[in-house]
Amino acid sequence: MKKLLALIALASLSMSAYADIFAVFREADGSTKWQYVANTTASVLIISLVIALIFLIRAHLRSMRANRALTDIKATLEDRVANRTAVLQATTEQLVEREAYIASIVNSMPVMLIGLNQQLHITQWNKKAEEITGRPLKDVVGKNLWEAYAAITLTQEQVKSVLESGETLTLKHAQRGQYSFDITLYPLDNHADTGLVILISDVTKQVNAENKVAERDKVSAMGELASAMAYDISLPMQTILSRVTRARQELEAADLGEVKEFLLQEVETVRLSAHQATAIAQNLLDLAGSHRDSKQLADVPPIMDRSIALATDLFTDADSLAFKHINIRRNYASPLPQIPCFPAELEQVFVRLMRNSFYALNAKTWDDNNKPWINIEIGEFYDSLWIKIEHNGKCLSPSEQLDIFQPFFAITNHESTCPVEQRLSYSYFIITDHHRGQMAVTSDEQYGTCFNIQLALS
């Protein structure tokens, strides 16, 4: 291009050297040299065409090189795009597989798993959570936890404290004899964006198994202690009965005047007390062997009758009321089904209720118009057997009604309203834990005191 411009400039300078630039195309007489004009025009046209051809060839060559470069770039880009697409597809498949694998792990977990974000909205909800709550993931995802599962035993404050502190929180929630749960809340890495996870484990079977082992050990130790105590008590009682019998014989044979009748009465009182102590020792032996590994079908009314007979032997106040003088009203429905139970344990429960009633009746003063009584009712109601033991003795105060089924601890600072000898914690334990039943008490001055026991028929 630079050479062409130089040539044009040179031609212009050369032409300017002539006075008439067209003189070369004229004859001496002033006529035009048409042949010369034609030859010059043709030469200029050919030169122009050659120059244009050269430029076109150069442009074509450059375009071919550019096209080849573009083709190479296109092929390279296509290869890169194909490779990148293959990598993305493989990565997507891996992510899908990993997500499915993680979802499989989460859904196969035997614990309830709930994922929450910072707004306490549900992000994860496994199969166990669906089974327990009855709500599928699609119905709860994105909702507030307490809207989706109002029965959960967690507060928003507890969850927020884990999010704020970033520390794992472990809680236990249990209802004795019914269920036990371990609840763990732990924040995820970068929990500012991800939130936390709640794990709820049902450990009821484990806790029940551990309780059974502990209970068996306690019962075994208590049985050994009761047996030893019964044996230790029976030895001096046998001596006392033997000496009392001999003393009675000697008193009857002796001539002591007016004192003789008084001494015989006192000896009889000692004999009855010794007999009562012997019955207590025997009851301890029965208690030691009362618990068995499996229940058996039994009729409750005969168990109640045996308990009344045993209470008659056990409970006698030498200076006041004897159990045999109490009016026992028995109201047993008929027929009554047998229930699975531990008969010896139920007998111990009934005896202790008789004992409690006996002391309550002894705490009142009686006359001919007001006699002590114990009313016993046994009946069937739907799928349960109901037992009522009611008396008209001294009633329980509201605080005593709260304490009577609670264990007694001598080291506690709480001032107990119910004396340990009148408590029914072991009876309550037998009914609620060993027999999966219910036990309650009501008491007031007008209607007396009533112990209610509910036992399942199966």
Q: For residue 6, what pLDDT is reported? A: 61
pLDDT at 182 over 70: yes
Q: Does pTM surpass 0.75? A: no
Q: For residue 18, what pLDDT is reported? A: 47
pLDDT at 220 over 70: no
The stretches of 16-124 forming alpha helices (DSSP H) are 34-108
Q: For residue 14, what pLDDT is reported? A: 55
CA distances from 385 to 263, 424, 452 (A): 50, 20, 11
pLDDT at 274 over 90: no
Helix 204-253 to helix 259-288 angle (10° resolution) is 160
- Specify the 3-state DSSP secondary structure of 149: coil
pLDDT at 236 over 80: no
Mean pLDDT of 125-130: 86
Task: Identify whether 335 is preceded by a cis peptide bond (ω within 30 of 0).
Answer: yes
pLDDT at 449 over 80: yes
For residue 419, give both structure tokens. 């004396």
Tens digits of residue pLDDT in 71-92: 888 888 888 888 888 888 888 8
Q: For residue 442, what pLDDT is reported? A: 92
d(Cα 421, Cα 66) in Å, to the nearest integer?
109
d(Cα 1, Cα 177) in Å, to the nearest integer?
104
d(Cα 303, Cα 351) in Å, to the nearest integer?
10
Sheet with 448-456: strands ordered across:
327-332, 373-381, 384-391, 448-456, 438-444
d(Cα 399, Cα 167) in Å, to the nearest integer?
41
d(Cα 371, Cα 55) in Å, to the nearest integer?
139
128 or 455, higher pLDDT:
455
Q: For residue 328, what pLDDT is reported? A: 93
Mean pLDDT of 97-118: 81
Who contacts 318 (Cβ-Cβ below 8 Å, separation ≥6)?
A: 269, 272, 273
Q: For residue 216, what pLDDT is reported? A: 64
d(Cα 122, Cα 16) in Å, to the nearest integer?
95
Tens digits of residue pLDDT in 365-405: 888 888 899 999 999 988 899 999 999 988 988 888 888 88
pLDDT at 54 over 60: yes
pLDDT at 112 over 60: yes
CA distances from 57 to 36, 43, 64 (A): 31, 21, 10
- Specify the 3-state DSSP secondary structure of 424: coil
Who contacts 378 (Cβ-Cβ below 8 Å, separation ≥6)?
A: 300, 301, 304, 331, 332, 333, 336, 385, 386, 387, 388
Name the band, by pLDDT with cuts 50, 70 and 90, for residue 232: low
Average pLDDT, the chain: 79
Q: For residue 439, what pLDDT is reported? A: 93
What percentage of the chain has pLDDT greater than the value 90? 13
Q: For residue 299, what pLDDT is reported? A: 93
pLDDT at 234 over 70: no
Mean pLDDT of 123-141: 86
What's the count of helices (H) and strands (E) in the chain, helices before strands? Answer: 13, 12
d(Cα 4, Cα 171) in Å, to the nearest integer?
95
d(Cα 261, Cα 447) in Å, to the nearest integer?
43
Name the band, by pLDDT with cuts 50, 70 and 90, for residue 411: very low
Mean pLDDT of 90-98: 86
- Beta strand segments in 232-304, E: 296-298
Give CA 353 to chain center in angstroms: 35
Closest alpha carbon to 114 in 97, 127, 100: 127
Closest alpha carbon to 391 in 416, 418, 412, 364: 364
Q: Would you say 323 and 358 are in contact if contact means Cβ atoms under 8 Å apart?
A: yes
Name the band, by pLDDT with cuts 50, 70 and 90, for residue 19: very low
Q: Number of C-alpha atoms within 13 angstroms, CB side, residue 458?
A: 2
pLDDT at 323 over 60: yes
For residue 60, give both structure tokens. 């074509």
Q: For residue 418, what pLDDT is reported? A: 56
Closest alpha carbon to 308 in 289, 335, 327, 333: 327
∠ CA 351-356-361, rounded to 5°? 120
Q: Which residues of 185-203 are buried (b: 16+ CB within 10 A; e: fewer)?
A: bebeeebeeebbbbbbbbb
Mean pLDDT of 293-310: 88
Q: Return phi, psi of residue 238, to 5°.
A: -65, -40
Q: Number of C-alpha atoms within 13 angstroms, CB side, residue 395?
A: 11
pLDDT at 412 over 70: no
Q: For residue 243, what pLDDT is reported? A: 76
Mean pLDDT of 421-447: 85
What does R_g of the chain's alpha carbons equal in angstroms?
54
Q: For residue 379, what pLDDT is reported? A: 93
For residue 245, give both structure tokens. 């019998």
117 or 239, higher pLDDT:
117
Range of weakest confidence among 43-47, 87-91, 141-145, 230-234: 230-234
